[in-house]
């Protein structure tokens, strides 16, 4: 739906704010651009919106170069949400939400219906429609900013750190609400953040930027499992947790899988490195260098899942988390201690 082909932006000669980006975004996809401050996130968004033009390369929407489109029309096809949401203070919430529908000459009845419908989507009382922005909390104002971008049903929505200025609790709430909303509306969204937790929570795919260039593109899971390099690892955060997922297999199956052997006194993070290096997902664990004690499947996930609604799923699927420094031996012991069934323990006689 949205395609970047070798897009570069230089504000000053020789300094590339965006450096040779190529990427295809599918319809209905939630793409998150992430990277440290100054890596070119906002510049990328402004180029999609045609607020600025690429120095080199091409951006197209549904196969049409955006530079061939009428800029005013283009901006109406795109919802744009930024951190400083900028609701108009002298307009009611209803009028703020109805800005684009009014430009598009919707009837008054249609505008009113749409504003009321949108407010319902975010569980706000219809009485807010008659209020002014200063009568709303920061979180509510930001919700209205998002609704304003959705009002005329643009197929593409750009969001540049939209929740960045909110307190963590409000932000968490809005993120969850927004993810649900996006799923139900099926819009294509390009979302910018510098917060990895937010990216993992929201993204179908994450695009990691450094100095204007793409370092890695992948699902949150892919990026957490296989960070492309040290920069990405650093960005994910060294204190991420590791989850161990017991899996039922027979001894025969394990042996057929060509497992790598590891001694139980190694930390789990080494086990992961070894598994990654050898591209295996099964480890045989050897205790006191002779007894086979069991094996583990190990995946890195984001620690923020811990307190979210995912907790239920995690417990249900017999997944739990251990710190990266936990020894392999202790990991297996804690699997057993929690009474999780189906952990294959290989007895000596096996
Ligand atoms: P981000 O949104 O990731 O923080 P930006 O896209 O705003 O990064 O900026 C990328 C780089 O381009 C930075 O080095 C920034 O200083 C530079 N830059 C941004 N806007 C301009 C501008 N209007 N003129 C010159 N340089 C700019
Ligand atoms: Mg920015």
pLDDT value at residue 308: 28
Q: Is the CB of residue 40 below 6 angstroms from any atom belonging to ligand 1? A: yes
- Structure confidence at residue 334 as a pLDDT band (50, 70, 90): low
Closest ligand 1 atom to residue 44 Cα is 6
Q: Residue 64 and residue 28: Cα distance in Å, rounded?
A: 18
| SS3 call for 136 | coil
d(CA 45, ligand 1 centre) in Å: 11
Q: Are 346 and 266 in contact (CB under 8 A)?
A: no
pLDDT value at residue 287: 58
Minimum CA distance residue for ligand 1 atom 12: 17
pLDDT value at residue 253: 57
Q: Is the CB of residue 39 below 6 angstroms from any atom belonging to ligand 1? A: yes
* DSSP secondary structure string for all residues of 320-343: EEE-TTSBHHHHHHHHHHTT-TT-
Lowest-confidence region among 30-39, 157-166, 290-299: 290-299
User: Whose atoms come closest to the Cα of 38: which ligand?
Assistant: 1
Q: Residue 281 and residue 303: Cα distance in Å, rounded?
A: 21
Q: Is the CB of residue 184 below 6 angstroms from any atom belonging to ligand 1? A: no
Whether the pLDDT of residue 350 is over 60: the answer is no
Q: Is the CB of residue 37 below 6 angstroms from any atom belonging to ligand 1? A: yes
Nearest to 20 by CA among 31, 36, 35, 8: 8
pLDDT value at residue 349: 36
Whether the pLDDT of residue 134 is over 50: the answer is yes
- Structure confidence at residue 319 as a pLDDT band (50, 70, 90): low
Q: Which two tokens stand for residue 234?
A: 């650093």
Q: Is the CB of residue 161 below 6 angstroms from any atom belonging to ligand 1? A: no
Report ipTM for this prediction.
Answer: 0.98
Q: Are 6 and 182 in contact (CB under 8 A)?
A: no
Q: Which two tokens stand for residue 56?
A: 């080199």
- Structure confidence at residue 320 as a pLDDT band (50, 70, 90): low
Please give the DSSP secondary-structure letter assigned to residue 339. T
C-alpha pair distances (Å), 297 with each of 56, 228, 256, 331: 45, 21, 16, 11
Query: Between β-strands 30-34 and 64-65, what pairing exists: parallel, antiparallel or unpaired?
Result: unpaired
Please give the DSSP secondary-structure letter assigned to residue 228. S
Does this chain's domain 2-236 share its CATH topology with 242-337? no
Pocket probe mutation, ligand 1, options 21, 38, 215, max atoms within 8 Å of Cβ:
38
pLDDT value at residue 193: 94
Whether the pLDDT of residue 5 is over 50: the answer is yes
Choice between 166 and 15, residue whose per-residue pLDDT is larger: 15
- Average predicted confidence (pLDDT) for the chain: 79
| SS3 call for 157 | strand
pLDDT value at residue 40: 96
Place of tokens 């930024």: 82
Mean pLDDT of 296-325: 43
Q: Are 342 and 246 in contact (CB under 8 A)?
A: yes
Minimum CA distance residue for ligand 1 atom 16: 38
- Tens digits of per-residue pLDDT, 210-241? 999 999 999 987 887 778 888 888 888 755 54
Minimum CA distance residue for ligand 1 atom 14: 38
Minimum CA distance residue for ligand 1 atom 23: 11
Choice between 113 and 277, residue whose per-residue pLDDT is larger: 113
Q: Residue 105 and residue 46: Cα distance in Å, rounded?
A: 26
pLDDT value at residue 46: 95
Listed in sequence order, the residues at least 6 apart from 15 whose beta carbon sits closer than 8 Å to its beta carbon are none
Q: Is the CB of residue 11 below 6 angstroms from any atom belonging to ligand 1? A: yes
Minimum CA distance residue for ligand 1 atom 19: 43
d(CA 42, ligand 2 centre) in Å: 4
Lowest-confidence region among 31-35, 274-278, 292-296: 292-296
Mean pLDDT of 288-306: 43
Annotated domain spans of the chain: 2-236, 242-337
Which architecture, in CATH terms, is 242-337?
Roll (3.10)
Place of tokens 């394990």: 254
Q: Is the CB of residue 17 below 6 angstroms from any atom belonging to ligand 1? A: yes
Whether the pLDDT of residue 318 is over 80: the answer is no
Q: Are 96 and 87 in contact (CB under 8 A)?
A: yes
Q: Are 254 and 295 in contact (CB under 8 A)?
A: yes
pLDDT value at residue 289: 41
pLDDT value at residue 56: 96
Whether the pLDDT of residue 335 is over 70: the answer is no
- Tens digits of per-residue pLDDT, 167-189? 887 788 888 888 888 888 888 99
- Tens digits of per-residue pLDDT, 247-271? 444 555 555 666 666 777 778 777 7
Whether the pLDDT of residue 108 is over 80: the answer is yes
Backbone dihedral region for residue 17 (phi beyond 0: left; psi -120 to 50: alpha; all else: beta): alpha
Assigned fold of 2-236: Rossmann fold (3.40.50)
C-alpha pair distances (Å), 350 with each of 251, 290, 294: 8, 13, 11
Nearest to 199 by CA among 16, 9, 62, 35: 35
Q: Are 222 and 199 in contact (CB under 8 A)?
A: no
Please give the DSSP secondary-structure letter assigned to residue 327. B
Whether the pLDDT of residue 116 is over 80: the answer is yes
Whether the pLDDT of residue 122 is over 70: the answer is yes
Closest ligand 1 atom to residue 192 Cα is 2
C-alpha pair distances (Å), 87 with each of 122, 135, 175: 17, 12, 20
pLDDT value at residue 297: 53
Please give the DSSP secondary-structure letter assigned to residue 259. P
- Structure confidence at residue 283 as a pLDDT band (50, 70, 90): low
C-alpha pair distances (Å), 302 with each of 43, 250, 267, 299: 28, 30, 19, 10
Query: Between β-strands 64-65 and 56-61, what pairing exists: parallel, antiparallel or unpaired?
Result: antiparallel
- Structure confidence at residue 159 as a pLDDT band (50, 70, 90): very high
């Amino acid at each position: 739906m949205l395609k970047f082909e070798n897009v570069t932006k230089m504000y000053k000669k020789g300094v590339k704010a965006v450096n040779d980006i190529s990427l295809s975004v599918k319809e209905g996809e939630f793409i998150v651009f992430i990277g440290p401050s100054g890596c070119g996130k906002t510049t990328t968004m402004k180029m999609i919106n045609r607020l600025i033009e690429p120095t080199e390369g091409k951006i197209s929407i549904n196969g049409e170069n955006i530079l061939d489109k009428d800029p005013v029309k283009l901006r109406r096809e795109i919802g744009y949400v930024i951190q400083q949401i900028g609701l108009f203070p002298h307009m009611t919430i209803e009028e703020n939400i109805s800005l684009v529908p009014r430009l598009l000459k919707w009837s008054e009845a249609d505008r009113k219906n749409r504003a009321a419908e949108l407010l319902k989507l975010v569980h706000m009382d219809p009485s807010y429609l008659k209020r002014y922005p200063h009568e709303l909390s920061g979180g509510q104002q930001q919700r209205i900013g998002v609704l304003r971008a959705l009002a005329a049903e643009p197929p593409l929505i750009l969001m540049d750190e939209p929740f960045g200025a909110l307190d963590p609790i409000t932000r968490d709430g809005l993120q969850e609400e927004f993810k649900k909303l996006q799923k139900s509306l099926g819009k294509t969204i390009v979302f910018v953040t510098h917060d990895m937790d937010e990216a993992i929570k929201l993204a179908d795919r994450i695009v990691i930027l450094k100095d204007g260039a793409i370092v890695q593109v992948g699902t949150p899971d892919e990026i957490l499992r296989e960070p492309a390099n040290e920069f990405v690892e650093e960005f994910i955060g060294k204190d991420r947790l590791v989850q161990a997922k017991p899996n039922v297999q027979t001894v025969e199956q394990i042996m057929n899988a060509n497992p790598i052997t590891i001694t139980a006194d190694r930390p789990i993070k080494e086990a992961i490195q070894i598994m990654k290096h050898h591209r295996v997902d099964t480890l045989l664990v050897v205790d006191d260098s002779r007894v086979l004690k069991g094996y583990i499947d190990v995946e890195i996930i984001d620690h923020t899942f811990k307190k979210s609604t995912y907790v239920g799923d995690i417990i249900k699927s017999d997944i739990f988390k251990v710190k990266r420094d936990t020894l392999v031996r202790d990991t297996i012991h804690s699997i057993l201690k929690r009474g999780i069934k189906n952990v294959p323990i290989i007895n000596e006689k096996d």
